[in-house]
Amino acid sequence: MATVLLGESGREVTSVMDAARIRAVVFDMDGTLVDSLGVAPEAYVRTVRDLGGREIGIRDVVTAWHIGPAPIMLRHFLDRATTPDDLELFFRHLASAVVGIRPFPGVGDLLGSLRSRGMALGVYTSAMRRVAEVTLAEAGVGAFFSTFVGGDDVSRPKPSGEGVLAACRALRAGPGETAYVGDSAGDLASACDAGALAVHAMWATSARDIPGDHLRAGRPGEVLRLVEGTGKV
């Protein structure tokens, strides 16, 4: 049965399933849990520079962000195959770049509230799983999650639902019992393709409304009330 919920603006949003059935929540990382787009591109710039690649800037990395995880990004900028040594250099630069990164305000409280209610929590990101683990550990929220699925764990990237389904299996929850929270159109399409409840995270300053039949959360705290199906936020 569809559930009608009221978003931040007061508009009715009809979910594709009964939100009260949700027992697992999976999150995108960039723009949802942390603003890693503000720091991670620098790791690519430094890596490509140290490996003698063409000169690139932060904007070049952000523009290419959608093409895939680190091995694909480095191959794109180096114009050659990525080696294990290339990746290790990238991770060293990443560890330096993410020092001091913090989750968006309210995210830590949301994760604590979800876990205290017995919700299983996971991450599915287009970034490599190791990137997510390093970044979220530095942000102080990595321990909330029992599974991480990265772009290097799937054969079909977003908007395919493969990664969401992989997280569901790891969390032992069906897609109909799972919400996927993300900030991009690809995130929402992934959730729908998997049969999960799609929740649009709209708290980043760069967030824009995306048309569609999904739930909208203007602040992290709204996610809790949406997945609990209370009917209003």
For residue 232, the model assigns a pLDDT of: 35
Query: Is residue 87 one of the residues assigned to a domain?
Result: yes
Residues 154 and 88 in one domain: no
Residues 74 and 28 in one domain: no
Tokens 């048309």, located at residue: 211
Query: Is residue 233 one of the residues assigned to a domain?
Result: no
Q: Low-confidence residues of the chain, pLDDT below 70?
A: 1-20, 230-233
For residue 21, the model assigns a pLDDT of: 87
Give the list of residues 6+ apart from residue 73 with CB closer than 8 angstroms, or none.
44, 61, 64, 65, 67
Q: In whole angstroms, what is the distance from residue 178 CA to residue 181 CA? A: 10
CATH classification at residue 174: 3.40.50.1000
Residues 51 and 142 in one domain: no
Rounded to the nearest 5 percent, the helix, strand and coil shares of the chain are: 45, 15, 40
Q: In whole angstroms, what is the distance from residue 108 CA to residue 66 CA? A: 26
For residue 113, the model assigns a pLDDT of: 97
Q: In whole angstroms, what is the distance from residue 83 CA to residue 97 CA? A: 21
For residue 35, the model assigns a pLDDT of: 87
Question: What is the domain range of residue 69?
Answer: 40-97
| Domain's final residue, options 51, 80, 97 | 97
Give the list of residues 6+ apart from residue 109 with CB closer than 8 angstroms, or none.
220, 221
Give the list of residues 6+ apart from residue 52 with CB closer than 8 angstroms, or none.
none
Query: Is residue 93 one of the residues assigned to a domain?
Result: yes
Provide the domain count of the chain: 2
For residue 230, the model assigns a pLDDT of: 43
Residues 27 and 138 in one domain: yes
For residue 6, the model assigns a pLDDT of: 35
The whole model's pTM is what?
0.87
